[in-house]
């Protein structure tokens, strides 16, 4: 974080105070870390064998990598589907026709309010009845549930993206004789899509994280294959740590991409580029006292 | 038709749907309380002049914000309880419930921290500069000038986090809280597949009824509390 304006450019006394605070802070952080390590050791969780089993070539080859591929497969289908769903219902909410607006609004608000896990459980049951021959019902249920929730979030992004454009953009479209629909499609949507691209990349983080819910309906994603490993080797703490690290690295990379996109694209649109928050609805944040950087 | 209705009625009597929702509300309440306290502390660390605390806060946020909640919940049971033998209550039910609350709290604290930080960002520079000009140092400036305005500016993102927390309380299923809504719904569907749509409708409408008022309330509050600038 760059220097915040909450505190002044420090003088000699403040610098020594900050240094002392820094040392105390670092000691507290180290003490917490040491305490955690001691606790782990006292319960025998630092045994090299337990960790070696969690990251062995066999574990990766037969369990974690196939699981990761399934996670990525579900996330890829879900994100493509969500974008289509979001564009359809997002523009639906901006329609000139009241009925289309009403139906799209109801659909979007409904799927944003219902927990993804409930949808997965429901679709798993539904596909079990409708498609008795299909093998991977859990995969379908995961993908459909993720599309309905994240598609609704993207629909809101489309709507707010168009809403955040300067009014002059829409007025200019109408002034040169385009119909409202043409204005939306050829003037407002292209700029809104550029503005919301970083938030859409942030939404992939949400999709990746939520795909782990598939574990609860038996989809063979990364967490599930990790569970298979630790129920055989008896090292849940170690395997779950490895699985979490894989997710964290993937998501941090996506966050960096979103941040760079946001900076790169801000000159390409009349709207304001925003990054998602990784939870709930992305909200635009103006620069203020806390500095402008985001992680 | 009568068979259908009496079947549905018997089903709703057999399973404690309201009790399941009450469990999720309790999970949300305690999770939100702890997450708010921890998140405020993290936000203070992240805007403080002390680099090591800033770093610790940022590390916490990037770890917990990017880990799937399902893994955190599984970790609470398999890592904290099974492997480390840390028990939060004597009986199984309370133990799983408290583990789930801690899991929800540590995950959502990262988002509370970011919500408050985005609230701090709504406070204009001049406020911090004025606070400094009248001689307030970091903590008094934060306590008297910045945070009161920041919490008002953070109402909308905090409300979003609360809604997400309520919906995410269903993930307590991964922490063996088997009497909450998603697990109850799963069991009901397993044993009564012919009422699949009805069962989903009951639970989905339950969440719509809970979520939409929170959304309306926080939107109203965030408008009412917004500092006119």
CA neighbor of A4 nearest in space, from B57, B60, B169: B57
Contact with chain A for residue B82, Cβ under 8 A: yes
Q: Which two tokens stand for residue A31?
A: 């003490």
- The answer to whether the CB of B222 falls within 8 A of the CB of B164 is no
Is-contact B127 A292, C-beta < 8 A? no
pLDDT of residue B11: 85
Q: How far apart are CA B144 and CA B122, in angstroms?
A: 16
pLDDT in tens, A153-173: 999 999 988 988 888 999 999
Q: Indicate which of B74, B152, B157, B201 best probes the interface with A, i.e. most A CBs within 10 Å of its own CB.
A: B74
Contact state of B207 with A115 under an 8 Å Cβ cutoff: yes
Question: pLDDT tens-digit profile of A77-108?
Answer: 999 999 999 999 999 999 889 999 999 999 99
How many CA within 13 A on the CB side of residue A212? 27
B49 vs A7, A114, A126: nearest CB: A7
The pLDDT of A115-134, averaged and rounded, is: 91
| Contact between B61 and A248 using a beta-carbon 8 Å cutoff | no
B45 has pLDDT over 50: yes
Reference A53, options A225, A229, A222, A247; nearest CA is A229
Nearest to B208 among A113, A288, A289 (CB): A113
Report the largest interatomic distance among the alpha carbons of chain A, rounded to a whole angstrom. Answer: 76
Query: What is the pLDDT averaged over residues B113-119?
Result: 91
Q: CA nearest B44 in A: which residue?
A: A290
How many Cβ pairs within 8 Å bridge chains A and B? 220
CATH architecture observed for domain A48-265? Orthogonal Bundle (1.10)
On whether residue B133 sits in a domain, the answer given is yes
Nearest residue, CB atoms, A290 vs list B58, B117, B171: B117
pLDDT at position A284 is 37
Does B191 contact chain A (CB < 8 Å)?
no
Interchain CB contact of B173 with A (< 8 Å) = yes
Residue A285: helix, strand or coil by DSSP?
Answer: coil
Torsion of CA B103, B108, B109, B110, to 10 degrees: 110
Asked if residues A74 and A221 have their Cβ atoms less than 8 Å apart, the reply is yes
**Inter-residue long-range contacts of B134-142, CB under 8 Å, 24+ positions, other chains counted:** B137/A7, B138/A6, B138/A7, B138/B48, B138/B49, B141/A6, B142/A6, B142/B44, B142/B47
Q: Which residue has the tokens 């309905």?
A: A148
- The pLDDT value recorded for residue A288 is 39
Mean pLDDT of chain A: 86
Residue B162 sits in a domain whose CATH number is 1.10.3720.10
What does the pLDDT read at residue A278? Answer: 62
State the average pLDDT over residues A39-55.
Answer: 87
Cα B135 to the chain's mean position, in Å?
Answer: 37
* Residue A183 to residue A175: CA distance in whole angstroms: 10
Q: Is B186 on the interface with A (CB under 8 A)?
A: yes
Question: Of all helices (H) and strands (E), which one includes residue A260?
Answer: helix A236-265
First and final CA of chain B: distance in angstroms?
Answer: 61
**Alpha carbon of residue A61 to chain centroid:** 27
User: For A213, what's the count of Cα atoms within 13 Å in the CB-facing half-sphere?
Assistant: 31
| Residue A175 structure tokens | 């002034």
Residue B30 has a pLDDT of 97
Q: Which of B63, B121, B161 sits opposite A280 (nearest CB)?
A: B161
Q: How confident is the model at residue B51 (pLDDT cuts 50, 70, 90)?
A: confident
pLDDT of residue A163: 87
Residue A34: band (very low, low, confident or very high) from pLDDT cuts 50, 70, 90:
very high
Domain locations in chain A as residue ranges:
48-265
pLDDT of residue A292: 32
Helices (H) and strands (E) in chain A, counts: 12, 0
pLDDT mean over B80-91: 87
Q: DSSP states of chain B as a string?
A: -HHHHHHHHHHHHHS-HHHHHHHHHHHHHHHHHHHHHHHHHHHHHHHSS-HHHHHHHHHHHHHHHSS-HHHHHHHIIIIIIIIT---SSSSHHHHHHHHHHHHHHHHHHHHHHHHHHHHHHTS-HHHHHHHHHTT--HHHHIIIIIHHHHHHHTHHHHHHHHHHHHHHGGGGGGGT-TTSHHHHHHHHHHH-GGGHHHHHHHHHHHHHHHHHHHHHHHHHHHHHHPPP-
Q: What is the mean pLDDT of residues B47-73?
A: 92
Query: Quick check: A279 and B121 CB within 8 A?
Result: no
Q: What is the pLDDT of residue A17?
A: 85
Q: Which of residues 9-28 of B touch A (CB under 8 A)?
A: none
Interface of B with A in 21-80 (CB under 8 A): 46-47, 49-54, 56, 58, 61-63, 65-72, 74-75, 78-79
State the pLDDT confidence band at B128, using cuts at 50, 70 and 90. Answer: confident
> In 3D, which of A54, A15, A36 has the Cα closest to residue A233?
A54
Express as a percent the part of chain B with pLDDT over 90. 57
Give the pLDDT of residue A5.
Answer: 59
- The confidence band for A280, taking pLDDT boundaries of 50, 70 and 90, is low
Contacts of B56 in chain A (CB under 8 A): 25, 29
Which pLDDT band holds residue A215 (cuts at 50, 70, 90)?
very high
Per residue in A221-266, pLDDT tens?
Answer: 999 999 999 998 889 999 999 999 999 999 999 988 888 888 888 7
Say whether pLDDT at A200 is over 90: no
Q: What is the mean pLDDT of residues B15-34?
A: 95
For residue B194, give Cα distances in angstroms to A287, B8, B181, B199.
54, 10, 19, 10
Q: DSSP assignment, residue A4?
A: P
Contact criterion met (CB < 8 Å) for B138 and A252: no
pTM, entire model: 0.89
pLDDT at A80: 95
- Give ipTM to 2 decimals: 0.91
- Distance from C-alpha of A252 to C-alpha of A263, rounded to nearest angstrom: 17
Please tell me the total number of residues recorded for chain A in this structure.
295
Query: What Rg value do the Cα atoms of chain A yield, rounded?
Result: 24
Pseudo-torsion of CA A212, A214, A219, A223, nearest 10°? 20
Round to whole Å and give the CA distance between A236 and B159.
34
Average pLDDT for B194-208: 93
Find, among B96, B105, B109, B107, the residue nearest to B183 by Cα.
Answer: B96
* Contacts with A277 from chain B: Cβ below 8 Å: 111, 114-115, 118, 157, 160
Report CA-CA distances (Å) from B155 to A61, A250, B109, B149, B224: 47, 30, 15, 10, 10
Q: Please judge whether A287 and B70 are an interchain contact, meaning their C-beta atoms are less than 8 angstroms apart.
A: no
Q: Quick one: pLDDT band at residue B209, thresholds 50, 70, 90? A: very high
* Model pLDDT, residue A289: 41
- pLDDT value at B166 more than 90: yes
Q: Which SS3 state, helix, strand or coil, does residue A87 take?
A: helix
Q: Domains in chain B: how many in total?
A: 1
pLDDT at A290: 38
The pLDDT value recorded for residue A15 is 85
Q: How far does the CA of residue A62 sit from the closest CA of chain B (Å)?
A: 20
For residues A107-119, average pLDDT = 94
Identify the band that residue B113 occupies on the pLDDT scale cut at 50, 70 and 90.
Answer: very high
Closest Cβ–Cβ partner in B61, B84, B168 for A39: B84
B71, B114, B186 ranked by CB distance to A212: nearest: B71
- Check residue A293 and give its pLDDT: 32
User: What pLDDT score does B129 carry?
Assistant: 87
What pLDDT is attached to residue B1?
66
Region B195-213 average pLDDT: 93
In 3D space, the residue among A265, A275, A271 whose CA is nearest the CA of residue A295 turns out to be A275
Cα dist from A141 to A77, A190, B161, whole Å: 12, 32, 25
A chain contacts of residue B51, beta-carbon cutoff 8 Å: 18, 22, 25
User: By residue range, what is the domain housing residue B217?
Assistant: 17-225
């Amino acid at each position: 974080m760059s220097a915040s304006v909450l505190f002044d450019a420090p003088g000699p006394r403040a610098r020594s105070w900050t240094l002392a605070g820094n040392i105390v802070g670092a000691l507290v952080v180290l003490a917490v870390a040491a305490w955690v390590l001691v606790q782990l050791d006292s319960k025998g969780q630092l045994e090299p064998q337990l960790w070696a089993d969690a990251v062995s070539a066999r574990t990766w080859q037969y369990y974690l990598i196939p699981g990761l591929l399934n996670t990525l497969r579900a996330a890829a289908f879900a994100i493509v589907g969500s974008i289509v769903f979001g564009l359809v219902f997002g523009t639906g909410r901006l329609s000139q026709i009241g009925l289309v607006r009403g139906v799209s609004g109801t659909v979007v608000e409904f799927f944003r309010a219902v927990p993804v896990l409930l949808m997965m459980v429901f679709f798993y049951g539904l596909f079990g009845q409708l498609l008795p021959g299909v093998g991977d019902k859990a995969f379908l249920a995961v993908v459909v549930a993720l599309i309905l929730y994240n598609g609704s979030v993207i629909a809101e992004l489309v709507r707010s993206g168009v809403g955040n454009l300067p009014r002059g953009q829409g007025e200019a479209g109408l002034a040169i004789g385009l119909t409202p629909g043409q204005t939306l499609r050829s003037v407002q949507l292209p700029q809104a899509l550029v503005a919301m691209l970083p938030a859409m990349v942030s939404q992939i983080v949400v999709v990746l994280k939520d795909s782990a819910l598939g574990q609860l309906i038996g989809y063979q994603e990364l967490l599930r294959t990790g569970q298979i490993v630790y129920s055989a080797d008896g090292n849940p703490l170690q395997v779950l740590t490895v699985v979490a690290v894989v997710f964290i690295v993937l998501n941090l990379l996506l966050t960096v991409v979103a941040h760079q996109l946001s900076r790169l694209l801000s000159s390409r649109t009349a709207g304001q580029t925003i990054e998602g928050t990784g939870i709930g609805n992305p909200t635009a944040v103006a620069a203020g006292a806390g500095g402008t950087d985001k992680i | 038709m009568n068979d259908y209705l009496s079947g549905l009625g018997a089903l709703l009597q057999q399973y404690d749907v309201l009790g399941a929702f009450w469990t999720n509300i309790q999970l949300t309440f305690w999770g939100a309380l702890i997450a708010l306290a921890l998140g405020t502390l993290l936000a203070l660390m992240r805007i403080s002049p002390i680099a090591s605390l800033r770093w610790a806060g940022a590390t916490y946020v990037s770890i917990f914000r990017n880990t799937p909640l399902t893994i955190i919940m599984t970790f609470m049971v398999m890592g904290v309880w099974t492997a480390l033998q840390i028990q939060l209550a004597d009986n199984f039910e309370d133990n799983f419930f408290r583990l789930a609350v801690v899991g929800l709290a540590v995950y959502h604290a990262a988002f509370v921290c970011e919500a408050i930080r985005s609230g701090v960002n709504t406070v204009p520079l001049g406020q911090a500069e004025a606070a400094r000009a009248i001689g307030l140092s970091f903590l008094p400036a934060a306590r008297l000038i910045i945070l009161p305005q920041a919490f008002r500016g953070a109402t909308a993102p905090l409300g979003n986090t609360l809604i997400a927390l309520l919906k995410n309380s269903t993930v307590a299923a991964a922490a063996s809280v088997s009497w909450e809504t998603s697990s109850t719904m799963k069991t009901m569907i397993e044993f009564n597949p012919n009422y699949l749509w009805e069962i989903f409708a009951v639970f989905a409408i339950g969440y719509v009824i809970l979520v939409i008022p929170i959304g309306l309330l926080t939107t109203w509050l965030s408008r009412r509390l917004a500092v006119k600038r």
